[in-house]
Structure 1
Amino acid sequence: MQNNVSEFRKKFGYSQDKLAEKLGVSRQTIISIEKGKYNPSLPLAMVMARLFHAKLEDVFILEEDDFK
């Protein structure tokens, strides 16, 4: 799954530390999500989208390979 977390984070002026603090996760979690090494839980993804005033599918992009 790809994501636009980094783009949204920068648009809102959040550092990785600040976003992690707002979401109650570690900075390493944010780094891993942004690099595509970790897919967040559905509740965390929904909270992130809400924080960015965006639709879930605008923040996280499901690809065909994700269905295999």
Structure 2
Amino acid sequence: PEEAFSPEEERAYGANRIAEGKLPMCASVCSTKALIAGDGEEVARVVRQRIAERGSGGGAWGWGTAYR
């Protein structure tokens, strides 16, 4: 493996946005906010909030349409 934050590492893998304290590009540009990233506690907090607002499983909005 290349040395962390070296020019060789960036050429091989691109910028390490998470190590820079940023979201992965896919999550930062996701228009539906379906992609989330962060440490386990932050992701769990977002998931709990979404379940409280939207429901889960068969009770979630759109479930019946998506999973007929």
Per the TM superposition, whether the score is higher than 0.5 is: no
- TM-score with structure 2 length normalisation? 0.28
- Higher strand fraction (1 or 2): 1
- Higher helix fraction (1 or 2): 1
Instruction: Work out which of the two has the higher radius of gyration on C-alpha atoms and give 1 or 2.
Output: 2
